[in-house]
Amino acid sequence: MKTIPSPVAPPAATAAPGPAPGVGRVRRKSRLAALALLLAVAVVASVCVGSQPSSLADAWHALFTPTGTTMDVTIRELRWPRTLTGIAAGICLGVAGTVTQGHTRNAVADPGLLGINQGAALAIVAVTAVAGQVLPLAQAMLAFGGALGASIFVFLVGSASRHGSTPVTLVLAGAAVSALCSGAVTGIALLNEAALDTLRFWQVGSLAMRTDVLPALWPFLLAGLVLALLNISALNALALGEDTARSLGISVLGARCSGIAAITLLAGSAVTMAGPIAFAGLLVPHLARALVGADYRWLVPASAVAGAALLLLADTAGRVIARPGELSVGVVLAIVGAPFFVYLARRRRLVTV
């Protein structure tokens, strides 16, 4: 396979705020290490912060030398599984958002804005309304099917014009599909009493309700990450344009198919674990790109670490803000992400086709 040069900067229609062109390898390594340290801090905060605060000693005791105290049970049975779910969902959303932006060449694209998350949620809610609660593995398969159907439909509609797919047509198609799926989810929930109980979870997302599904999902999560890593060379080439990618020996159709498969597996896993959390897939790629540049060899790992850290910090912030209750992580990210999305949408070079 031919060696693919890394892009110096994102294309004009997908430029991210503040990417540092020419970021050196040493600086990238140091910034990636800083992200890893931030993730470690986020893990500690997620385990220790709650309605009953605990110390590092309490967390260590509960995880490694438990004696059955109330705090041991709280940390082992509630906070630690929730933290693991947040790490897994954050990795999925961060990498899925990066791959989505890479294939659409659109800086305001993410699995949520392209309808993928809502498609997965619709599949689960529709079957739940008919058959009642289903097993975690069945939920995962439904989420993957819904995410795949939504992603294929968005790309087909966005590519239907004679000019093919553009950043604007893909976002418009994604907005339409997302609105359609979201309306269907609400309609089903309002007409079905059993589905109404799960409406809040599938509307805003939460890390507190689905801590039992991760063991059934890790093979799909791992497969999605592998596909995303294998897609890195193609993403670097596609950032230079489809014609350039073809001249470098990249199969654009094959790259798109593997990219959609990666997005489907990752977004479907995230939705099954935490619901359709919006804006995480939008924020994380920009944060990672600002730190390590536009080269996907660095951007994908940085997005994985940053996504996990962001989701855990947002979840912890929700517990602190509304103590003794809590705000769901989807609400916290929406509060942060909506102004950021407006900022991106107002940038002239992002709306230039």
- The secondary element (H helix, E strand) that includes residue 48 is helix 25-48
Of the ranges 53-67, 145-159, 289-303, the best mean pLDDT one = 289-303
What's residue 40's pLDDT? 96
* pLDDT score of 180 more than 80: yes
Q: Does domain 19-350 have CATH number 1.10.3470.10?
A: yes
Residue 296 near residue 232, CB atoms below 8 Å = yes
pLDDT tens per residue, range 111-139: 877 778 788 888 888 887 777 777 777 87
Between CA 14 and CA 235 the distance in angstroms is 13
pLDDT tens per residue, range 14-24: 433 333 444 57
In this structure, the number of other CB atoms found within 10 A of the CB of residue 199 comes to 16
Nearest-CA neighbor of 278 among 226, 330, 227, 203?
Answer: 330
- The secondary element (H helix, E strand) that includes residue 200 is helix 199-204
Q: What is the percent of the chain where pLDDT is above 70?
A: 84
Residue 88 banded pLDDT, cuts 50, 70, 90: very high
Query: pTM for this structure?
Result: 0.82
In this structure, the number of other CB atoms found within 10 A of the CB of residue 346 comes to 9
CA distances from residue 36 to 18, 78, 294 in whole angstroms, order as listed: 21, 24, 19
Residue range 272-297: mean pLDDT, rounded: 87
Q: What's the whole-number average pLDDT of the chain?
A: 81
What's residue 195's pLDDT? 61
Residue 213 banded pLDDT, cuts 50, 70, 90: confident
Residue range 289-315: mean pLDDT, rounded: 93
Annotated domain spans of the chain: 19-350
Q: Which residues contact 302 (CB under 8 A, 6 or more apart)?
A: 31, 32, 35, 288, 291, 292
> Using the 8-state DSSP alphabet, how is residue 280 labeled?
H
Between CA 269 and CA 220 the distance in angstroms is 7
Count the residues in the chain: 353
What's residue 193's pLDDT? 66
In this structure, the number of other CB atoms found within 10 A of the CB of residue 32 comes to 18
* pLDDT score of 37 more than 90: yes
Task: Kindly calculate the radius of gyration of the chain based on its CA atoms and give it in whole angstroms.
Answer: 20
